[in-house]
Amino acid sequence: MPITIRDFREGEFRLLWQLDQECFPRGIAYSQRELNTYMNMLGTFTLVAEAEAENGSKRLAGFLVGQRHKRGIGHVVTIDVSPSFRREGVGSLLMSEAETRLHLQGCHSVFLETAVDNATAIAFYKRLGYTILKTLPRYYLRDLDAYLLGKRLDVPAP
């Protein structure tokens, strides 16, 4: 199925929130209020990955919420890929588009957080050129540490 990356459209919020609930455990997944707040913060964009079947029907494959902070720093608030589309390049497409947008908006670097026990996500981010910057104690659920990862956007990839 071909994957298309596009901007979020009004009326899709519930689908995105439901996917977030599917992708992350309770306590790490966002409440509707939290996700809505992040999606509507100043400098934020939401990308949607959509898969098109041969019959023309479309399915949500994933989404990403990114934000441009002051001083040229970008932040990936969340990236969610449907379990049925994992390992098909959806996450890489979303991250590439987010990094391009952030770079075009003047960001020289981007950061994100992930749980220290999420080996799959850590390996994924490292493949994309992210490095662990530090550990954030009790970041999730007040007892699970997170890694803060970052990547320079103004340096060509090796």
Strand bridging mode 73-81 / 44-52 = unpaired
For 51, list phi and psi in degrees, rounded to 5.
-100, 135
The tens place of each residue's pLDDT in the chain, 158 residues long, gives 789 999 999 999 999 999 999 999 888 899 999 999 999 999 999 999 999 877 778 889 999 999 999 889 999 999 999 998 898 899 999 999 999 999 999 999 999 999 999 999 999 999 999 999 999 999 887 788 999 999 999 866 55
Which pLDDT value is given to residue 64? 98
Among the four given CATH numbers 3.40.630.30, 3.60.40.10, 2.120.10.30, 3.20.20.80, the one describing domain 3-152: 3.40.630.30
User: Cβ distance 80 to 33 under 8 Å?
Assistant: no
Burial environment of residue 57 by CB neighbours within 10 A (0 to 12, 13 to 18, 19 or more): exposed
pLDDT of 26 = 85
User: Which pLDDT score, from 0 to 100, does residue 27 have?
Assistant: 81
**Which SS3 state, helix, strand or coil, does residue 76 take?**
strand
Q: What residues contact residue 121 under an 8 Å CB cut-off, 6+ apart?
A: 114, 115
Secondary structure of 89-152 as H, E, C letters: CHHHHHHHHHHHHHHHCCCCEEEEEEECCCHHHHHHHHHCCCEEEEEEEEEECCCEEEEEEEEE
**Domain layout of the chain by residue ranges:** 3-152
Do residues 149 and 133 make contact, with C-beta atoms less than 8 angstroms apart?
A: yes
